């Protein structure tokens, strides 16, 4: 252990960056090239880190470089420190210049294909310096990513009821009933919810919030049993199963045009008012440093939803 003025010396970021590169590549030349440092400087930085920490991080031979047991443990810590510093710099950049830098947006699969065109167009036109990075995942994974800091903003169905998560509602949209051509409810308007009690309803797989919403609608209609005989991983497959005569399904209106255009063997029915519906919103961490940007983005997106079959929220 090296002591200076009664305090333990602190490793520099350059030393941690050099060590992390060597730990990743296990080769001095490759590590030096990866971070744009000369090989002697890299070796010196790692040696200085070992002296500062008072432990041997690497086992050096003439043929290869290995991590020591201490190096294995501390490489994880070094990467975490560098990631945290990177996040700090991103936040500082965002504060200096709003709508610049990376914005990691998580979107559920039953929203992504239908709303992302509007989001991408908005970002391209209004915020050209914003680096939008899109991640399509199911709700549970998105919430984990938001909580861990892996994601910055979510676009999904609400309410979530999750502590520490703030929802920015965007719009409500009705569900419609999609049936085969020969179904007795095909093309009808004013369908009572009670009709769901008698239907062979096809749903998405476990984990999709749209499945849970459909089951809730069935329970509200008085159906106690789980109406699931066949499931699908995505809405496109679900609609094709309906076209093949296996049953009916519920679709949000934003998905209707794209998904039903794939087959001529489908009819669409609408429910009596008040129709079953879902609410779509942005979600962010409470106290997020960029909360003002996210609120402005939500307001701008609401303005651009006029072409969609939704009820935009104030």
Does the pTM surpass 0.75? The reply is no
Structure tokens, 163:
């502590």
Beta-carbon contacts of 142 under 8 Å, excluding residues fewer than 6 positions away, are: 106, 107, 108, 135, 151, 154, 156
Averaged pLDDT, groups of 10, the chain, 314 residues long: 58 94 90 91 93 91 84 93 87 77 93 95 94 95 94 95 95 94 91 86 79 80 67 86 90 92 90 92 93 95 93 91
Per-residue pLDDT tens over the stretch 215-258: 888 877 777 766 566 678 788 888 999 999 988 888 999 999 99
Per-residue pLDDT tens over the stretch 48-59: 999 999 999 998
Fold that domain 101-313 belongs to in CATH: D-Maltodextrin-Binding Protein; domain 2 (3.40.190)
CATH class of 13-93: mainly alpha
Contact 53, 74 (CB under 8 A): yes
Cis amide linkage into residue 274, ω under 30° from 0: yes
Q: Which of 153, 255, 182 is nearest to 214 (CA)?
A: 255
Sequence ranges of the domains in the chain: 13-93, 101-313
Map tokens 């329970």 to a residue.
219
């Amino acid at each position: 252990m090296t002591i200076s003025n009664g305090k333990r010396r602190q490793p520099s970021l350059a030393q941690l960056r050099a060590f992390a590169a060597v730990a990743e590549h296990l080769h001095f030349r490759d590590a030096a090239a990866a971070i744009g440092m000369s090989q002697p400087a890299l070796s010196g930085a790692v040696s200085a880190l070992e002296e500062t920490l008072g432990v041997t991080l690497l086992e050096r031979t003439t043929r290869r470089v290995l991590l020591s047991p201490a190096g294995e443990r501390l490489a994880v810590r070094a990467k975490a420190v560098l990631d945290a510093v990177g996040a700090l710099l991103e936040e500082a950049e965002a504060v200096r210049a709003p709508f610049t830098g990376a914005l990691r947006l998580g979107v559920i699969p039953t929203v992504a294909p239908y709303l992302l065109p509007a989001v991408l167009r908005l970002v391209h036109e209004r915020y050209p310096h914003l680096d939008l990075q899109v991640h399509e995942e199911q709700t549970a994974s998105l919430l984990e990513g938001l909580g861990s800091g892996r994601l910055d903003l979510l676009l999904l169905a609400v309410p979530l009821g999750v502590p520490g998560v703030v929802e920015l509602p965007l719009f409500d949209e009705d569900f419609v009933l999609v049936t085969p051509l020969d179904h007795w409810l095909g093309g009808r308007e004013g369908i009572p919810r009670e009709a769901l009690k008698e239907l062979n309803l096809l749903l998405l797989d476990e984990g999709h919030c749209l499945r849970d919403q459909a089951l809730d609608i069935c329970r509200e209609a008085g159906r106690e049993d789980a109406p699931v005989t066949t499931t699908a991983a995505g809405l496109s497959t679900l609609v094709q199963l309906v076209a093949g005569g296996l049953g009916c399904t519920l679709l949000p209106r934003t998905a209707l045009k794209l998904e039903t255009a794939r087959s001529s063997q489908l009819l669409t029915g609408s429910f009596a008012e008040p129709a079953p519906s879902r609410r779509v919103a942005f979600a962010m961490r409470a106290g997020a440093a960029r909360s003002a940007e996210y609120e402005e983005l939500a307001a701008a997106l609401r303005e651009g939803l006029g072409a969609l079959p939704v009820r935009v929220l104030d």
